Amino acid sequence: MFNESLPHAFALIVPGISPLYLAIIGVTLVASMLISGMLKRRFSEYSEIPLGLTGAQVAERMLRQNGIHDVKVISVEGQLTDHYDPIKRTVNLSEPVYHMNSVAAAAVAAHECGHAIQHQQAYKWLEFRSKMVPAVQLSSKMLNFIMIAGLLGIGIMSNPTLLWIWVGLFAVTTLFSVVTLPVEFDASRRALVWLEASGLAASMEHEKAKNALFWAAMTYVAAAVGSVAQLLYFLMIALNRR
């Protein structure tokens, strides 16, 4: 969500970057591409399996049955751009999800409503992640400034102070990626429980919805693992420079 391209840009401005770091970047990119490709294939496949309600109708029903009446369900442009906005109190569904009546649309819509329920129930990990947003935004800006300094010839790796600042700021964005995992997995769990209880999905369709949500969650896992690996690399470099 934040700073996904920062590590890759950083690799371009640091002379003599190590093979280990290049390997970390390479593995992360390949894993992300494979998971993203699988997610798109599963979404396309499960979009062909019809259900009785559109994604928008699923979202409306799930919200109301959970006593949430102040959250709007709206359509947004793009594909797989679905998200819940806790500030505007909206469940934002991409156009295909909003209008389609399929297993894929129902799974995605229910997942985003899972976030709305988390918000309503003050789910601790969602609250923690929300409180982190200002710090992550500030860290992102500072990391950009450091990258610009690198482009101007200021050696980041050769400057211990600057390197430790980089590690600290990168740790904030990494923590955000890690904290995102329980938030996403819990939203998927809530979605699957509701889909099963509502009777919308039979056992076979339930497994397909579960599989679609699994691959969506794996995109966050890949990002978090890659970020942790890069943080450990920079921390190792900083400790060796002491």
pLDDT tens string 19-78: 887 888 889 889 989 998 998 899 889 989 888 899 999 999 999 999 999 999 999 998
The residue-averaged pLDDT of 119-130 equals 96
Give the residue, 214 or 152, on which the prediction is more confident: 214
Sign for the CA dihedral angle at 190, 193, 197, 201 comes to: positive
The answer to whether the pTM exceeds 0.85 is no
Is 196 annotated in the active site? Answer: no
Average pLDDT over all residues of the chain: 87
pLDDT at residue 16 above 60?
Answer: no
74-86 residue pLDDT tens: 999 988 899 999 9
User: Which of 60, 112, 184, 205 is the catalytic position?
Assistant: 112
The residue-averaged pLDDT of 114-124 equals 97
